Amino acid sequence: MRVFFIGVCGTAMGNAAVMLKKLGHDVAGSDAGVYPPMSDVLFAAGIDLFEGFEADPMFDWKPDRVVVGNAVSRGNPQVERLLSAREIPFLSLPQLIGEDLIGSRPSLVVAGTHGKTTTTTLAAYALEQVGACPGYLVGGVPLDLASGNELGGDGSPFVIEGDEYDSAFFDKRSKFIHYRPHILVLNNLEFDHGDIFRDLADVSRSFSHLLRIVPSDGYVLFNGDDPNLLALPRASWTTLFSVGEGKNNDLRIADFEEDKDGSRFRLLWHGDEIQVVEWAMPGLFNARNLAMAFFSTVLAQSENLDPEDPFSAASLPDFSACQGVKRRQEILVEKDSRVILSDFGHHPTAIEGTLQALRARWPDHRIVACFEPRSNTAVTNVFQDRFADALSCADVVLLGAVHRAEKIPVDKRINTGVMIRRIGDAGREGHAFAQNEELADHLESKLDDRRTLVIFFSNGSFDGVMDRFAEFSRTDR
CATH number of 330-475: 3.90.190.20
Residue 290 has pLDDT above 90, yes or no: yes
Look at residue 436 in the predicted model and tell me its pLDDT: 95
Its CATH architecture, for the domain 95-301, is 3-Layer(aba) Sandwich (3.40)
Q: For residue 386, give every residue at least 6 positions away whose Cβ sits within 8 Å of its Cβ, in sequence order, or none.
A: 348
Residue 302 has pLDDT above 80, yes or no: no
Please state, in angstroms and as integers, the Cα–Cα distance from residue 94 to each residue in 1, 97, 165, 204, following that order.
18, 5, 11, 20
Region 191-205: what's the mean pLDDT?
89
Look at residue 329 in the predicted model and tell me its pLDDT: 79
* Residues 442/357/129/316 CA torsion (nearest 10 deg): 180
Region 218-244: what's the mean pLDDT?
96
Look at residue 249 in the predicted model and tell me its pLDDT: 97
pTM comes to 0.88
- Mean pLDDT, the chain, as a whole number? 92
Look at residue 286 in the predicted model and tell me its pLDDT: 92
Look at residue 326 in the predicted model and tell me its pLDDT: 75
Region 326-333: what's the mean pLDDT?
84
CB atoms within 10 A of CB 150: 23
Look at residue 443 in the predicted model and tell me its pLDDT: 93
Name which of 173, 206, 164, 187 is nearest 116 in CA terms. Answer: 187
Its CATH architecture, for the domain 2-88, is 3-Layer(aba) Sandwich (3.40)
- The strands making up 26-31's β-sheet, listed across from edge to edge, are 48-51, 26-31, 2-6, 65-68, 90-92
End-to-end CA distance of the chain: 57
pLDDT (tens digit per residue) in 47-104: 999 999 999 999 999 999 999 999 899 999 999 999 999 999 999 999 999 999 999 9
Name which of 350, 349, 351, 347 is nearest 369 in CA terms. Answer: 351
Interatomic CA distance for residues 62 and 48, integer angstroms: 13
Domain ranges (residues) in the chain:
2-88, 95-301, 330-475
Look at residue 143 in the predicted model and tell me its pLDDT: 80
CB atoms within 10 A of CB 306: 10
Beta bridge partners of 325: 142
DSSP 115: -
Look at residue 476 in the predicted model and tell me its pLDDT: 65
Look at residue 34 in the predicted model and tell me its pLDDT: 73
Residue 477 has pLDDT above 60, yes or no: no
Q: Within a 13 Å sphere around the CA of 241, how many CA atoms are in the beta-carbon half?
A: 25
Confidence of residue 324 (pLDDT cuts 50, 70, 90): confident
Check: CB of residue 63 under 8 Å from CB of residue 28. yes
Question: Residue 244 region, left (φ>0) first, then alpha (ψ -120 to 50), else beta?
Answer: left
Please state, in angstroms and as integers, the Cα–Cα distance from residue 96 to each residue in 74, 167, 272, following that order.
20, 11, 42
pLDDT (tens digit per residue) in 1-12: 999 999 998 888
User: Which residue stretches of 131-226 are H helix?
Assistant: 200-212
Region 433-442: what's the mean pLDDT?
96
Interatomic CA distance for residues 270 and 40, integer angstroms: 48
Percent of the chain with pLDDT over 70: 99
Look at residue 310 in the predicted model and tell me its pLDDT: 86
Residue 162 has pLDDT above 80, yes or no: yes
Region 106-134: what's the mean pLDDT?
94
Region 331-349: what's the mean pLDDT?
89
Confidence of residue 37 (pLDDT cuts 50, 70, 90): confident
Same fold, 2-88 and 330-475: no
pLDDT (tens digit per residue) in 169-180: 999 999 999 999
Confidence of residue 403 (pLDDT cuts 50, 70, 90): very high
Region 206-232: what's the mean pLDDT?
96
Confidence of residue 129 (pLDDT cuts 50, 70, 90): very high
Look at residue 344 in the predicted model and tell me its pLDDT: 85
Question: Dmax over Cα atoms in the chain, in whole Å?
Answer: 65
Interatomic CA distance for residues 241 and 346, integer angstroms: 29
